[in-house]
């Protein structure tokens, strides 16, 4: 791992105020981003920019990953559903945070990307991440309930299926909106009620595809 570049990136995220949780910083410090972005120069890998991956997809810039991770607030032992595996970097960070007693279930629509993410995770020595190919817009009912659900693509709304697969008092983090205007939604489940914890505009993700997607 390019340690100096990784530390420089962490300091840059600290200065921007997008990385404030030392637990998340420690996870980023221990997950080499370069393992998930083969073919890109190190100068770009550790810059705060989104980068293209296979099949026209992108890996979000580190500041967005750190913000979403902090909003999700994963804890040791959590069972987490991630919708949109991408390269697997976000999955790896979540796995580090939930520890050996936790599990990450990540679902990717594109089969070849799911396979590539598995390879990246193995290369980085990450265990505890289960990658599936399929339609994440309706969740992954087989392994529910989840303590946390995170979606890394722009959804038209928080799907009923996600809410149903969430534990009581669990949390969902997802960008909601069309291609031009998206708001990061943080929602918690209170019995049968949805409680919006935070709304933050100004995001731009690729659209979520599938039955409940764009």
Structural domains of the chain in order of their starting residue, each with its CATH number: 3-203 (3.40.50.150)
What percent of the chain has a predicted confidence (pLDDT) above 90? 80
* Given 8, 38, 43, 60, the catalytic residue: 60
pLDDT at position 72 is 98
pTM for this model (two decimals): 0.94
Please compute the mean of the pLDDT values over residues 101-121 and round it to a whole number: 96
Mean predicted confidence (pLDDT) in 93-101: 97
Distance CA 111, CA 154 (A): 20
Residue 129 has pLDDT above 80, yes or no: yes
Query: Is pLDDT at 152 greater than 90 in this prediction?
Result: yes
Residue 196 contacts residue 171 (beta carbons within 8 Å): no
Question: Please, which residues have CB within 8 angstroms of residue 108's CB and are 6 or more apart in sequence?
Answer: 84, 85, 86, 114, 117, 131, 132, 133, 134, 136
What mean pLDDT is reported for the chain? 93
Q: 3-class DSSP state for residue 145? A: coil
Is 60 a residue of the active site?
yes
Residues 1 and 62: their CA atoms lie apart, in Å, by: 16
How many Cβ atoms sit within 10 Å of the Cβ of residue 185? 22
Q: What pLDDT shows up at residue 121?
A: 97
Indicate the helix (H) or strand (E) that contains 148: strand 146-151
């Amino acid at each position: 791992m390019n340690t100096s570049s990784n530390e420089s990136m962490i300091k840059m995220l600290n200065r921007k105020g997008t990385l404030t949780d030392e637990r998340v910083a420690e996870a980023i410090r221990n997950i080499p981003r370069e393992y998930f972005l083969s073919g890109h120069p190190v100068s770009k890998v550790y810059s705060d920019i989104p980068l293209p991956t296979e099949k026209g997809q992108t890996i979000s810039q580190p500041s967005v990953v750190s913000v979403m991770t902090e909003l999700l607030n994963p804890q040791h032992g959590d069972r987490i559903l991630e919708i949109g595996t991408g390269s697997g970097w976000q999955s790896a960070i979540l796995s580090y945070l939930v520890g050996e007693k936790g599990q990450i279930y990540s679902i990717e629509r594109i089969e070849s990307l799911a396979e590539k993410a598995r390879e990246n995770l193995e290369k980085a020595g990450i265990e505890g991440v289960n990658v599936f190919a399929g339609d994440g817009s309706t969740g992954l009912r087989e392994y529910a309930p989840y303590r946390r659900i995170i979606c890394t693509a722009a959804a038209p709304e928080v799907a009923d299926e996600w809410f149903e697969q969430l534990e009581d008092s669990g949390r969902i983090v997802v960008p909601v909106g069309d291609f031009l205007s998206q708001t990061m939604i943080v929602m918690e489940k209170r019995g049968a009620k949805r409680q919006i914890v935070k709304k933050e505009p100004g995001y731009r993700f690729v659209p979520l595809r599938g039955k409940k997607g764009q």
